[in-house]
Structure 1
Amino acid sequence: MGMEKTVAIQSAKAFVAVHCGAGFYASHNNSLFISLCRSVCSEVLRTLENGSSAVEAVCAAVVALENNPLTNAGVGSNLTRDGTVECDASVMESSNNLFGACGAVKGVKNPVLLAREILHQQMSPRDGLVAPMIFVGDGAVQFAKSQNVETVDLSFHQTEPRLKKYNEKKRSLHCVDTSTASGAPNDAESELDTVGAIVVDMHGVIAVASSSGGVAFKYSGRIGQAATYGAGIWCETVGADGFACCVSGTGEQIIQTSLAKAFCDALQQDDVSLESEVSSAFLNSKRITGCHPRYMGALVLQVSDWLQSAKGFLHVVHTTPGFCWAMASSNRKNPQAQLSRLLLPRDASSSTNVQSVAVLGYSV
């Protein structure tokens, strides 16, 4: 059902973890996804050790994932029913609990950088108004341009594989939403969701970010968990402890359960395991409507007294067939990476794979 691992932890200063999305991974692409996660961790760790802030570093990680056409974020995103790309993204920081997000955005090169700008604007509200947390649609694009966030032609994020897949689905489903279709992709294709990252900087500040092209063949204007407060990402500091989570999977189910916050809340309770929380808050939740399989994958970080001892644990959780992730730290500069696979039973919603990995827990 699941496994947990605890390893002695050594002091460290910086940490980064990333994932390429929960979903179906084509077997011939395994090494490409693992290599991508490793390279992003290595690069972001260097920036952290050179003094980058948590927000800047976590956004740099997600930008690297958005710019790679392998992922369903930024370049290579899924197409809507109308044949366009609409992206969601968000970022959150533990020191001030600020959250910035954008949704259903067209033509913004790196949506996570727009989310970062929305977060930054909250630090210095203008005109005496409450600063917005979330921008969507055309308003988000207008705001991006006003803040010099790079915009691109609407075709920029489209790739030939996504266009081919879109045309095939349009012909075969006759404009029926793919979320109602049965069956899983064959082994020649990958079906992935939201990418994400968590970092801890040299000052012990935690930041988390997420970006997504959304479900394939979605309705235009649809918003997923990557742009929803408490659902796709969460981080906070409670005393000397810090918590962060980024979630990928079926957006509507994740929104209905506010899953990222639910996982962080669970880690603050002594008598609740993360595996039991997956079961109660997601797999068996009465908040989720419909009969579709319950798909999610998450990185959940817990740290304690970071500046003194850098104690922490990274939990890797998924109910999808695959979940590719990696982590690196000042004590483990060679990133640990894995494409975790789960053999689903006929009732896919009843299966969980839970791993608890000690953060920075290996000798260097």
Structure 2
Amino acid sequence: MNALRPLCAALLLLAAVPAFAAESPATMLVIHGGAGLERNGTSEADEAGMRAAITEALRKGHEQLAAGKPALDAVTAAITVLEDNPLFNAGKGAVFTHDGRNELDASLMDGATRMAGAVAGVHHVRNPILLAREVMQHSPHVMMAGDGAEKFAKERGVELVDPSYFRTERRWQQLQRALKEDAAGQAHAEPEVARHFGTVGALALDAKGSLAAGTSTGGMTDKRYGRIGDSPIIGAGTYANAQCAVSGTGWGEFYIRVSAAHEICARMAYLKETPAQAGAAVINQEIPAMGGDGGAIVLAANGQVGMPFNTEGMARGWIGADGVPHVALYSDESLALPGEGAVAP
């Protein structure tokens, strides 16, 4: 019996070790730059610019994760890069409404706490994703809109710009073509999803195993009457909990009607589907069955990734703990998913 005492003591000591020896989960950052991308009308220079921007956003977000920062920091860092790039329909590259204005929406959600913040219909906020974070962390509310949101932005020191900052000739000409078609009673030449192509989003898994999701958009070309899509609506365009994070891009009316982002996470929770399976069921089956289209990015707490979309292209990418960016634009481009050797979509 005495001979067993040293062994028992050793086993008790080992039992106390896992709390210190357990490995941290591998970090992950996933980004989209919008579904609806089409080769026809997209120049080689624009393609190269989008690839470079997605790569830069991945690296900026990865810097945060590598420094031990929370998933929220990685998401906001990545989305800010894309909001500042006129190639995407968010921030600087926002499309124009029917009245010739730029109206910006964004949302952010922390999966660990399920705290969320969102803004809609703002006209002067350079980086709406940063204002969404302020709403989440420094107000008792989840969503603010219009003038009230901008007053709060001013109080919180969020950068405001003259509306002219958002004007780009490319987006202005898109509106002019749409207005001519409206006046002539013609159907729009651009596919519906292409009219709001470029919505951006990011998901992150940090070293503590926490998830976060964010989405930012300029809305829909030629939209009227204060229309708001899915991007700033928690559960529709953005959602995160302890197991799942989602950011959507596409025809927002349909994403709202099916609560797309939450629906994907619910399928993962209750049907035990993978991000790819749950994402495909909602994005490539449920939404098209109703007449919509688009895409999404999905990230699980175990690092698995899904990138479903049903348009010709969706700018997308991911970066793991090794810091190597993986980027693709079109549906016929193979993009190996982390840890699976699979391709997306």
Q: Which TM bucket (shorter chain)?
A: 0.7 to 0.9
Q: How many angstroms does 1:88 deviate by?
A: 0.4
Higher-Rg structure is 2
* Alignment partner, residue 97 of structure 2: 80
Deviations 1:76-128 (A, max 9, x none): 11001110100000000011101100001111111111100001025xxxxxx
Alpha-carbon distance, 1:175 to partner: 8.7
Q: Answer whether contact 1:313 1:357 (CA < 8 A) is retained.
A: no
- Deviation at residue 324 of structure 1 after TM alignment: 1.1
**Which structure's residues are more often strand, by fraction?**
1
Q: Offset of 1:161 from its aligned partner?
A: 1.2
Matched positions, count: 310
**Partner residue, 1:55:** 72
Residues 318-362 of structure 1, C-alpha deviations (whole Å, 9 max, x = no match): 01221110101113x2111111327xxxxxxxxxx9x99643557
Unaligned runs of 5+ in 1: 1-9, 123-130, 305-311, 343-352
Q: What is the root-mean-square deviation of aligned Cα atoms in Å? A: 2.6
SS in 2 for 1:79: coil
Matched to 1:22, the amino acid is A
5 Å matches for 1:1-364? 13-25=26-38, 26=42, 28=44, 29-122=46-139, 131-174=140-183, 181=188, 184=191, 192-237=197-242, 242-270=243-271, 272=273, 273-274=277-278, 275-278=280-283, 280-284=285-289, 288=290, 293-304=291-302, 312-331=303-322, 333-341=323-331, 358-360=337-339
Q: Which has the higher contact order (CA 8 A, sep 6+)?
A: 1
C-alpha distance 62-175 of structure 1, shift in aligned 2 (>3 A): farther
How many percent of aligned residue pairs carry the same amino acid? 29
Q: What are the Cα deviations for residues 113-155 of structure 1, in whole angstroms up to 9, with x where unaligned? A: 1100001025xxxxxxxx1110011111111111111111011
**Where in structure 2 are there 5+ consecutive unaligned residues?**
1-22
Mapped to 2, the partners of 1:221 and 1:173 lie a distance apart of 18
Counterpart of 1:13 in 2: which secondary structure? coil
Comparing 80-89 with 216-225, greater Cα deviation is found at 216-225
Alignment partners' CA distance in 1, 2:27 and 2:339: 9
What whole-Å deviation, never above 9, does each CA across 1:157-190 have from its counterpart, x for those lacking one? 11111112222322232297x9x636539xxx98
Which piece of structure 1 moves more, 248-257 or 32-41?
Answer: 32-41
The structure carrying a bigger helix percent of its residues is 2
Q: Deviations for 1:253-309, whole angstroms, at most 9, x for unmatched residues? A: 11111001111111223465333344553222xxx5xxxx421110011123xxxxx
- Quick check: 72-81 or 164-173, which moved more? 164-173
Describe the SS at the equivalent of 2:266.
helix
What TM-score comes out, normalization by structure 2 length?
Answer: 0.83
